[in-house]
Chain A
């Protein structure tokens, strides 16, 4: 039996993957994506070949997203139609993204591909993450000035424009937007989501902000709908990788064991928090993940001869710092979600008790 591609799994490997899966699941259940960016490097650190790590990660992602989407659908947060349409075009985006990656690899080799991924990482996370976090802080400030009351959902200016464009034959009503939007606007957003997923493994870093700021969905509905997109993309990706025989179902199911525990907490958490918190957690994770890249880039530049050579030991140390930053991003996301959940539950209980007191009076 040829088994060189699949590693032996021991109790330490299984525990590590279960824990990372759990926190990653919690983040996914809350913001619709995330967690995947840690799992692939985590598996590779444990000795799993890159292609098997990517394939097994995707294979755990689609059942996880399915469970999360169904859970949040119960809470009335999912727009299935929007998710399926974006998901189908995201699938096309994945194929385009994979093709672009293959071209970069053929032209510039493995190091060139890594540098390309890093550049995409930095640009997308800096621009989109910075925007999301700035908006979250702005909303938090507004809420503080309003005595802690949730600011009403406002459709952003760009989204108002998108919703005002009427292209005959392409208009479709979406529950999340409470408006009709031309499918022609959704196509490029879906494709961009898929392309990002194929490049950095987390399409939601484009998909969720796009649904919020370009289409006009509330953050809670955008993050829930992203789970449908992730399911469609993940199912398609799993089939493609499975045809190549590189899905290690044992690894995928260990991660799934943890992530299904986590995704339930993340999904439940969304029923206790405001839109602002979802944006805040998402922006925060994106910015921390962005910093991880700064540790990898010097090594790639050195290998490509674009800067003076750096010692291999220094590159390894920098890479380790990068991996640690990814873990910190996930941990910060997980802790923020738990804190928001505890605070939200306490506020909810106080509200119910106050209602009970009023009812008895």
Chain B
């Protein structure tokens, strides 16, 4: 029986560090984010894109990190999913 290839630690570490940096920046500059929200509320409507852009950035880096993280510790999808099996 062939054994699945051992996942590489590198992407987990890379995306993990990137994700940690993003969270550090978010909380280091938290007051700015609160201030931008208040300014959006008071008429500077173009700032509404900031939370949307932040959410997309976190979804990519943190999403990649969490995916690789579970794979690294051995939690992987079944090679053939139930849906595919039924075809």
Q: Could you list which residues of chain A lie within 8 angstroms of chain B, going by C-beta atoms?
A: 1-3, 5-6, 59-60, 62-64, 66-67, 70-71, 74-77, 150, 152-153, 218, 220-221, 235, 238-239, 242-250, 252-253, 256-257, 260-261, 263-265, 267-268, 270-275, 344-345, 348, 352-353, 355-356, 359
A-B contact count (CB 8 A): 143
In the bound complex, do residue A243 and residue B40 qualify as a contact, i.e. CB atoms below 8 Å apart?
A: yes
In the bound complex, do residue B59 and residue A63 qualify as a contact, i.e. CB atoms below 8 Å apart?
A: yes
In the bound complex, do residue A220 and residue B52 qualify as a contact, i.e. CB atoms below 8 Å apart?
A: no
Contacts of A352 in B (CB 8 A): 1
In the bound complex, do residue A242 and residue B75 qualify as a contact, i.e. CB atoms below 8 Å apart?
A: no
User: How close is A211's CB to chain B, nearest CB, in angstroms?
Assistant: 14
Besides A77-B83, A264-B66, 18 more A-B contacts (Cβ < 8 Å) are A6-B34, A6-B37, A59-B55, A63-B58, A76-B81, A77-B81, A152-B86, A235-B52, A239-B48, A242-B50, A245-B48, A247-B37, A250-B27, A256-B58, A270-B82, A273-B82, A274-B82, A345-B78
CA distance A352 to B45 in the complex (A): 57
Contacts of B31 in A (CB 8 A): 1
User: How close is A154's CB to chain B, nearest CB, in angstroms?
Assistant: 12
In the bound complex, do residue B75 and residue A268 qualify as a contact, i.e. CB atoms below 8 Å apart?
A: yes
In the bound complex, do residue A76 and residue B83 qualify as a contact, i.e. CB atoms below 8 Å apart?
A: yes
CB-contacts of B44-73 with A (<8 A): 45, 48-52, 54-56, 58-59, 62-63, 65-67, 69-70
In the bound complex, do residue B42 and residue A245 qualify as a contact, i.e. CB atoms below 8 Å apart?
A: yes
What are 22 A-B contacts with C-beta separation under 8 Å?
A: A1-B38, A3-B34, A5-B37, A59-B55, A62-B55, A63-B58, A67-B66, A67-B67, A218-B83, A235-B52, A239-B48, A242-B48, A242-B50, A243-B48, A244-B41, A247-B37, A249-B26, A249-B51, A256-B58, A257-B23, A260-B63, A355-B1
Residue in chain B with minimal CB distance to A74: B77
Closest 6 CB pairs between A and B? A245-B41, A63-B59, A356-B1, A67-B63, A245-B40, A242-B48
User: How close is A133's CB to chain B, nearest CB, in angstroms?
Assistant: 20
Contacts of B76 in A (CB 8 A): 268
Residue in chain B with minimal CB distance to A252: B55
CA distance A2 to B34 in the complex (A): 8
In this complex, the member of A59, A152, A260 whose beta carbon has the largest number of chain B beta carbons within 10 angstroms is A260
User: How close is A183's CB to chain B, nearest CB, in angstroms?
Assistant: 24
CB-contacts of B1-31 with A (<8 A): 1, 23, 26-27, 30-31
In the bound complex, do residue B67 and residue A75 qualify as a contact, i.e. CB atoms below 8 Å apart?
A: no
In the bound complex, do residue A63 and residue B67 qualify as a contact, i.e. CB atoms below 8 Å apart?
A: no
Contacts of A67 in B (CB 8 A): 59, 63, 66-67
In the bound complex, do residue A1 and residue B55 qualify as a contact, i.e. CB atoms below 8 Å apart?
A: no
In the bound complex, do residue A249 and residue B50 qualify as a contact, i.e. CB atoms below 8 Å apart?
A: yes
In the bound complex, do residue B86 and residue A153 qualify as a contact, i.e. CB atoms below 8 Å apart?
A: yes
Partner of B54, one of A2, A5, A249, A270: A249
CA distance A216 to B69 in the complex (A): 35
Contacts of B35 in A (CB 8 A): 1
